[in-house]
Chain A
């Protein structure tokens, strides 16, 4: 039977997905060229949440940058500060006390669980499964309560300081956190039963967004994105920072050539591993200082500031000028929930950074959206954006 129209007479259609769209996880705009339902080209258009954080940092002292950094990957608020504080401490050449390192690990891993829960809820919601969101928020609210207990802020605790922490853990934190992580695997089973063997979920995610190991490294993928393709790399194990070498945890790897389903399995397992790390850290929490004992870096205790003139002057100088690292350049990378988050800080010897460059994992991952989406259906684009776990403030800085 002869076709009605000869081939190649169809034009492609340009569809604008976003920036105001329920499934783009924020203000992402994707310009999609469609041939029917098949994607011919998908070009991401970024910058709708570019706030100029790198420029703002140049006019602030190092401590004043801490709340700014919190708002980078807003689902895992304190992990960004983990990287920033470690980078500045590397510049200064100091190491924080053991108790502060353990508490930093606890807060960072708790926020990693919170970030993955939110990812799971929104990713499943985009693909039609609305229930995991509500189940996940049950646990996420408990984590937010723990963060609030520690510093007063739910999403943005701003708890880490250069040289340690702002204050010690409040009473009752260790018991509540232990109760949470001991119970977490049972609650995790709820999300697992809903999705892992679900035939609709498998149909939507198996075989979509396949990346081989070599392509992952070529495109700069890291974290769960790379591990879903079998790249055995985790900065917490391979280049450990802040006492991660004291803890015993596994690195889940993807079981197949890196499709959306295997990344889903990796992130689910990572939640359990993070709960394991938090439990070990809480049980082995050492006593001691929570700030490095150096008057050029840590604020003196408040009682002394009110009574002793030397402490008052010290406090004043630290607030006005901030910490003054020597001139030099460092790069510190940490394992953020989204991948490798790096801070490249150029210091000119004053209390303000000369240049802060933030290596954001979501920004790097979006580069491969075009490559992954070509030849697939439009509905797969939503699955791809979900699996990339992008946070637009992390993309646009």
Chain B
């Protein structure tokens, strides 16, 4: 069992929903309301020390509901291991707190997730399109968007 699982289950018992272990990696499915608190705890506790956020990925699980997943991958330099957190968001209005205040690198990752998948990050300082032209309509990585565009 990954060392972070017990740590998080102690401090956030209602927010850790599921633990998935696959191919040597641990993914914790957590409740979206607690993501900022969880990442802060994982960063600041010396026995966790997950000071580095590798990436934030947005996944469209259509037709499963909740439809969107936001995946945070953390790395600890002190203990040389990884941890993945996943939040599931509903399909009609995917909104989640921004973690830019916890990890500065989240800025561009969240903008990309907004641009390509349409997930809104509450509290992001500059949430606008980053890779597509500013007048682009639609969110390309969603499953209903055709590959060649509209």
Contacts and interface: CB of A to CB of B under 8 A. Distances in A.
A52 B140 contact: yes
Given A329-B27, A331-B25, A333-B54, A367 B104 contact: yes
B127 to A, nearest CB: 14
Interface in B123-150: 129-133, 140-141, 145, 147
B141 A54 contact: yes
B23 A93 contact: yes
A356 to B, nearest CB: 10
Given A52-B140, A219-B105, A329 B54 contact: no
B77 A233 contact: yes
B147 A59 contact: yes
A248 interface: no
A217 B57 CA distance: 19
Nearest to A355: B59
B39 to A, nearest CB: 12
Nearest to B77: A233
A397 interface: yes
B31 interface: no
A231 interface: yes
Binding site secondary structure of chain B: mixed
A318 B112 CA distance: 34
Contacts of A396: 131
B55 interface: yes
A238 interface: yes
Given A217-B51, A218-B51, A346-B59, A330 B22 contact: yes
Given A91-B23, A363-B108, A220 B103 contact: yes
Nearest to B60: A355
Given A91-B23, A331-B73, A366-B108, A238 B80 contact: yes
B73 A364 contact: no
Interface string A328-364: 1111010000001010101000000011010100011
B70 to A, nearest CB: 11
Contacts of A58: 147
B67 interface: no
A56 interface: yes
A239 interface: yes
Contacts of A47: 129-133
Contacts of A357: 55, 57-59, 71
B106 to A, nearest CB: 8
Given A217-B51, A330-B22, A231 B77 contact: yes
Interface string A382-397: 0000000000000011
Contacts of A330: 22-23, 25
B84 interface: yes
Contact of B131 (A50, A90, A93, A333): A50
Interface of A: 46-47, 50, 52, 54-56, 58-59, 90-91, 93, 214, 217-220, 222, 231, 233, 238-239, 328-331, 333, 340, 342, 344, 346, 354-355, 357, 359, 363-364, 366-368, 396-397
19 contacts: A46-B130, A47-B130, A52-B140, A52-B147, A58-B147, A217-B51, A217-B77, A218-B104, A220-B103, A220-B104, A231-B77, A238-B80, A330-B23, A331-B73, A340-B54, A344-B57, A359-B54, A359-B73, A397-B131
Given A50-B132, A342-B55, A367-B108, 9 more contacts: A50-B131, A54-B141, A55-B141, A220-B104, A331-B73, A344-B55, A359-B55, A363-B108, A364-B55
10 smallest beta-carbon distances between A and B, as pairs: A220-B105, A357-B57, A47-B131, A359-B55, A50-B131, A367-B108, A328-B22, A217-B51, A218-B104, A217-B52
